Amino acid sequence: MESASKKNLNAQDSKHEKVILKGYRREDGKFGLRNKVLIIPSVVCANKVVENIAKACPEAVYVTHQHGCSQLDFDAEQTRMLMAGNCANPNVYAALVVGLGCETISSNSVKELAKSLAPYKDIRAISIQELGGITNTTNEGIKIVKDMLENASKCELSEGDFSDIILGTECGGSDAYSGLSANPSLGSLSDYVVENGGAVILAETTELIGAENILARRAINAEVEKKIYEKIYGFEENVKNSGSDIRGANPSPGNIAGGLTTIEEKSLGCVYKAGTSKVVDVIDYAMPVTKKGLTFMDTPGNDIEQLSAMVAGGANLVVFTTGRGTPTGSPVTPTIKLSTNNFCAKNMADVIDLNAGEIVDGNKSKEDIRDELIELIVKISEGKLTKAEINKQNDFSVWRLATTC
């Protein structure tokens, strides 16, 4: 932008210009900024085999987790959707699901759900018990993944634009500057994406408590407004019914050290990430985003549980604001770290991609940072790695709804 950006992005005229992105056009029309082969366990018992396969196939990405068995049906279904959604994400070319064979969530069931979300995609499942142990399963997995990688290497780049973006918005390690610099800048980017025909995900239900009326006023209709209140009040009520107090867990000790005092204060800063667009839909955790515009996804505030869900929902890009600094990143979706202050940008230089701290100094506006974000996104689409990608962050976590049984 002067590189493509400065030419296309002069403030209010930016929505009328088409910024070209590079990526991979999938058979269903979705657009991937990356072309990953993902290895994922359906159950904790398969973690080591997944790691063994990934070690032999370093061009692939992988995740591990602690779940997949002894879960109640509704809890297991949410976990299965999270896994399947990550396999179906447009940044993933193909996926291998590894199971044990006796678990609640089998590798085949994850494969079947993922194929229902992306029927064209190469998704395969193997089982340790069926193949006769660790060695046989590892060898078979290596063979499958190498075949997937070879096929992925044959994919040709296509052109896309911001109408192809599903932007996940996130803040973690927040501080008193979050609502003054980085979050408003991300909100400006969110509006840009919506204005140019794309989709945006706002999540972190716990971090909207106290700001629910602000978000509800932006609902596209009465049904969406009702769902916003139901999700936010319902989350708060569940915490109360457990006999616990949300204070202490949220804001976190780091949030408090960074200058935040209450969940309401944190929420008033968090809601800025969503810009000013109308809320067009409310969806459950890890469910697919199906509408253009701003969607509210019901998630906890926990960074990685939220990140994993947005990727499952289809996010092909995430911008993550932080005042304290965090290395978190998805192995599937490029995760841009935007710092709220200059100290964080310098202190955590190996994890921060862009600094919004200059807004606090009065040297830049949120529109300036928005334009820098757009320039960076163009470069990422052309192959530039985010710091999280350079650091090989492969964070993945499941929001559990019930006890293990």
Mean pLDDT in residue range 119-130: 98
Token pair listed for 160: 């896309």
pLDDT computed for residue 206 by the predictor: 87
Confidence of residue 113 (pLDDT cuts 50, 70, 90): very high
Confidence of residue 405 (pLDDT cuts 50, 70, 90): confident
User: CA separation (Å) from 281 to 183, 305, 306?
Assistant: 21, 20, 17
Angle at the Cα of 398 (from 327 to 344), degrees rounded to 5?
Answer: 20
pLDDT in tens, 10-23: 444 444 578 999 99
pLDDT in tens, 57-110: 999 999 999 999 999 999 999 999 999 999 999 999 999 999 999 999 999 999
The pLDDT of residue 159 is above 70 = yes
The pLDDT of residue 210 is above 70 = yes
| pTM across the whole model | 0.92
pLDDT in tens, 358-396: 999 999 999 999 999 999 999 999 999 999 999 999 999
User: CA separation (Å) from 100 to 46, 61, 134, 308, 398?
Assistant: 6, 20, 10, 22, 19
Token pair listed for 338: 């935007």
Amino acid at 373: L
